[in-house]
Structure 1
Amino acid sequence: MENLIEDVDLADDHQKPEFKAALLHIIFKCFANLLCLVVSLPCLPLFLLGILIWGLPPTIPGWSRFCKFFIAAFTEGKPKENIPFTNRVLLFLIFFNALVNVPINGVCWYIDELVYPSYHKVNIDEPVFMISAPRTASTQICHYLENDSENFITPIVAESILPYIWVWKLVVPALKGLGMKQEHFLALSLFRGEASKRHEFKLNRSDTWDGLVQSWHFSVFSWYLGYSFMKWGFSYATLNEPIDEDFRKSFVPFTDCVLKKVMYCRGGPNQRMIIKGHFLLVARILEEKYPKARFFMIVRHPVERICSFINLLKVVSTNGPYRVVHGLFPMTWRVARDYAIHTQVPYCKQEMMFYKEPADNKLVIPFTMYVNNLSATLQCIYSFCNIPIPDDVVSNATRTQNTTHDRTKHRASYDPNFNKSLASLGVNEEKLMECLNEYIDWINTLDSYKKTD
């Protein structure tokens, strides 16, 4: 795929980080790690006992993973990818913090196993997996569906960050009794500035599931170690090269446990679990584990979508929590571009293979249909799920789309520094389209079908 990319000079190839700001973050993380160590050591015996009784929780990475990331912090990345030394130190401290917190996180998980073991008996009979490529409006459609709480339920971001029944059944009610405004706290967005224009990321809403699972296994920090490590550690599809097998193996047990915990805490008898993300990597495994599961996606022209994805990667690494909380120097345009091209081209091809199969449990909706006819899109999804669509779902979604999520208004407000074209990034659009000509023909066929259906 190298012939798709031309060697051009990009704006941030030689940009330098602010050393003083990075040094403050380093000092703070050293101090925070010491405090965590004080809390974690007393939990270690209980954690080891829990392993003997229940095994290692799916939230805890394996020891070999820690070693790989510790070594990668100082060895990965090419000179052209401009990874500053301060980033390497910060990443090492972040991975060390994850290691220090293992006993704490493990004990938190085992409390559920001790106090609420019956959650394992909860059945996830007919889940709906919205496995769609990045930048296809999948998040917004999932939000429209989760607003229909009579028919759908989905884990919110906060429940993925704190996947413990005892927190939501005991701690949160106690804090509310002391005057905590839960709704105000959960409404906080984890994205700032320009990033918040591109993607809504709030604690009280659902979001990209694989990204949330990866935060537990710190795969998201592979963003800052160059293109090669990122394509290994943040993979969307099965590629013909080594991928992060540890994460793939932990994904399904983590998903199954958390879905059961959410249903146990607040699920209703008629609610269908819906999960949104880009986890095509494990789609076949999920299909086998949940025989009655349904899979649907939004398909968008790849050139427009990949361009949007590259800009999103850059802006999230600049205005997202990794920069704000951890002080990491943003990934370069070069890393974002190379990663997006390398992963999204095979993703498109495998996406077509998975969804093109004639099956009653798969649905494909063109992006143009979502943009031009939201009512028909929602009707199509509800019909696919065999659920009668409530009267107010379409009207409420249409009102939101026409105001809060007006695409033209949003795009006009984008900072041009984070709105690069593929050509300006050295991507040959003509060759990209040639590489994906069969996929594009498939999209065009779907568009034609939906217009006449």
Structure 2
Amino acid sequence: MPPKPSPELERDVTTDETSEVAVDGLADEGEAAVGEQAKAKTPLFDGRAIAGELPGELHRPPPSAPVMALKILARTLALALLVALTAWLWPIYALAAWAWGRPPNVPRFARAGRYLRLIWTSHPPAPGLGLGTRVWLSLTVMRTLAFTPVWALAWFLDELLYAEQLRATPVVAPLIELSAARSGSTQLARYLEEDAQLAAPSLVQALFPYLWLWRLVPRTLGRLISEDQVRTKILTRIPPEFLERHEGDPFRTDTFEGAVYLAHFNHLALYLGPELLAHEFGPGALHNDNRELWEREFVEFFDTVARKTLIHAGLGPDGQPRRFFVKGHFLAAADALAGRYPDARFLAMIREPGPRLQSAINFLHVNAVDTVLGHVPWPWVAEGALASELSYCEHEHEWFTRPGGPHRCVLRFDAYVRDLEGAMTRVYRECLDSPTLPDFVPREHPPRERKHYSINRSLAELGIDEAALEGRLAAYVAWCRGG
């Protein structure tokens, strides 16, 4: 059986005999319990209301059994070849790890073993996990392990070449945009990364966090293949329904923790059922199974990538060091980051939970984590995302309104949409110590292109009672509205 979920998850979502989900409070033990019992009985989710397919809706099921068997055979052979090719690197990796410690961009063996155990012992609700899916996910874990010495030695090469420079490069007053998913945070990040005084890692740099590689590629492959060609090649491999919901650009900033999730198997939780989706994929709260990941490995990854980004970017136009800027949803690491960088500026975009949750569920359903396995089943992603987002909302509200602590700035989505100039002026004043808004910062949003989503279910079609959701998160909704 899978490990017992954390207390945080158990308080979030409980399932009764009719598969309705009742959501309980995440209140600290010292909080007043007024109305808590009533909230626990409020039905927010009913999986029986979710249709498998809607008329005209795009559906990407897993491959048929014969096709899956062929894909498994091909991946098994490729894995065997990979293991043979990388076997000689393991002693070198062991020696380097003894000298510098295990790098944060590769998983621990214990974590790999835990995920293999979850893959073979989890029993999620319908449609369940078939044998082919379990084998495919197991091969994914083993392939990641086989690459461990490759990615680790690539990381250690930076230590060998740039150790002194890395240690001498401080990360001063980083700007950390820390917002919930589907809150408008990516668009805000795209505006901010245009500032030449800031240095933000691109998606490619986060996925391949090697300073030597960033410097080598422009002098070699970069002379043969342009960024536009690489961008086009990558985007053509991504399902169009995913690109409809995310402005993907490998050479611009994106959700930072995505690289950590891919390295440490969190993304596989999408295919293990709603309970593990909330427990492993949700970035909002700490629990026993993710504490080391967020408090140690993520912070080490963050700090090292920040230093590499600052070195690679060089001095700003004014001859002064740039400031590191990053965007993501890694709320579980907020306290650890605040402890590491007491002068950091934390910026959040908050948006009412109803439309954000609807967007998040549709986004996760079409997420292109593994194109072979197809879309994540609707009941799993709806129930799992609901639990995860409830936890995130309550922890986000508590963290950004907590007395004392680090410098925090909160933008409201509606005000940001209505008055971009006012919102950006506030960001520059409170986060970047600039009394005026620089001329290059846009004062108005560009005209928004109307999108016709291939997949766009409403909360009702996802089995979620929006009125009950707003009642459950009444304090958060009031906060989003300025209360």
TM-score, normalisation: structure 1: 0.89
In structure 2, relative to structure 1, the CA distance for the partners of 1:321 and 1:353 (3 Å cut) is: closer
Q: Distance in 1 between matches of 2:200 and 2:71?
A: 35
Corresponding residue number in structure 2 for 1:306: 357
State the shift of 1:9 in Å: 4.8
Corresponding residue number in structure 1 for 2:325: 274
Which amino acid letter does the alignment assign opposite residue 130 of structure 1? Answer: E
1:282-335: CA deviation from partner (whole Å, max 9, x where unpaired): 10111110011001111111111111111111122xxx2521xxx123211111
Which amino acid letter does the alignment assign opposite residue 346 of structure 1? Answer: S
Summarize the alignment of residues 430-449 of structure 1 with structure 2, pairs less than 5 Å apart.
430-445=467-482
Pair 1:237 & 2:268 matched: no
Corresponding residue number in structure 2 for 1:353: 398
Q: Which of residues 42, 45, 58 is equivalent to 2:88?
A: 42
In structure 2, relative to structure 1, the CA distance for the partners of 1:7 and 1:57 (3 Å cut) is: closer
Q: Which of residues 466, 470, 477 is equivalent to 1:429?
A: 466
Pair 1:17 & 2:62 matched: yes
Summarize the alignment of residues 47-86 of structure 1 with structure 2, pairs less than 5 Å apart.
47-86=93-132
State the shift of 1:65 in Å: 0.4
Pair 1:92 & 2:148 matched: no
Corresponding residue number in structure 2 for 1:102: 148
Report if aligned partners of 1:17, 1:84 keep a CA contact under 8 Å in 2. no
Pair 1:5 & 2:45 matched: yes
Pair 1:253 & 2:300 matched: yes
State the shift of 1:132 in Å: 0.5
What secondary structure is seen at the aligned counterpart in 2 of 1:5? Answer: strand
Which amino acid letter does the alignment assign opposite residue 414 of structure 1? Answer: Y
RMSD: 2.1
What secondary structure is seen at the aligned counterpart in 1 of 2:142? Answer: helix
Identity of aligned residues (%): 28
Q: Which of residues 371, 385, 389 is equivalent to 2:437?
A: 389
Pair 1:204 & 2:251 matched: yes
Quick check: which one's helix share is greater?
A: 1
Q: Distance in 2 between matches of 1:16 and 1:257?
A: 40
Q: Distance in 1 between matches of 2:477 and 2:268?
A: 32
In structure 2, relative to structure 1, the CA distance for the partners of 1:381 and 1:15 (3 Å cut) is: closer
Report if aligned partners of 2:49, 2:461 keep a CA contact under 8 Å in 1. no
Q: Which of residues 131, 135, 138 is equivalent to 2:182?
A: 135
What secondary structure is seen at the aligned counterpart in 2 of 1:432? Answer: helix
Which amino acid letter does the alignment assign opposite residue 250 of structure 2? Answer: L
TM-score, normalisation: structure 2: 0.83
Q: Which of residues 377, 381, 391 is equivalent to 1:336?
A: 381
In structure 2, relative to structure 1, the CA distance for the partners of 1:419 and 1:292 (3 Å cut) is: same
State the shift of 1:84 in Å: 3.0
Unaligned runs of 5+ residues in structure 2 are 1-12, 14-20, 23-43, 54-58
In structure 2, relative to structure 1, the CA distance for the partners of 1:259 and 1:358 (3 Å cut) is: same
In structure 2, relative to structure 1, the CA distance for the partners of 1:16 and 1:270 (3 Å cut) is: closer
Report if aligned partners of 1:214, 1:247 keep a CA contact under 8 Å in 2. no
Report if aligned partners of 1:120, 1:257 keep a CA contact under 8 Å in 2. no
Report if aligned partners of 1:224, 1:330 keep a CA contact under 8 Å in 2. no
1:385-436: CA deviation from partner (whole Å, max 9, x where unpaired): 21343212215xx3xx424xx16x12xx112xx2111112211222211111
What secondary structure is seen at the aligned counterpart in 2 of 1:221? Answer: helix
Q: Distance in 2 between matches of 1:308 and 1:213?
A: 23
State the shift of 1:371 in Å: 1.4
Unaligned runs of 5+ residues in structure 1 are 447-453
Report if aligned partners of 2:60, 2:374 keep a CA contact under 8 Å in 1. no
What secondary structure is seen at the aligned counterpart in 2 of 1:11? Answer: coil
What secondary structure is seen at the aligned counterpart in 2 of 1:282? Answer: helix
Which amino acid letter does the alignment assign opposite residue 49 of structure 1? Answer: L
Which amino acid letter does the alignment assign opposite residue 432 of structure 1? Answer: L
Q: Distance in 1 between matches of 2:369 and 2:386?
A: 24
Larger deviation, residues 134-143 vs 213-222: 213-222
Q: Distance in 1 between matches of 2:147 and 2:47?
A: 42
What secondary structure is seen at the aligned counterpart in 1 of 2:145? Answer: helix
Q: Distance in 2 between matches of 1:126 and 1:272?
A: 7
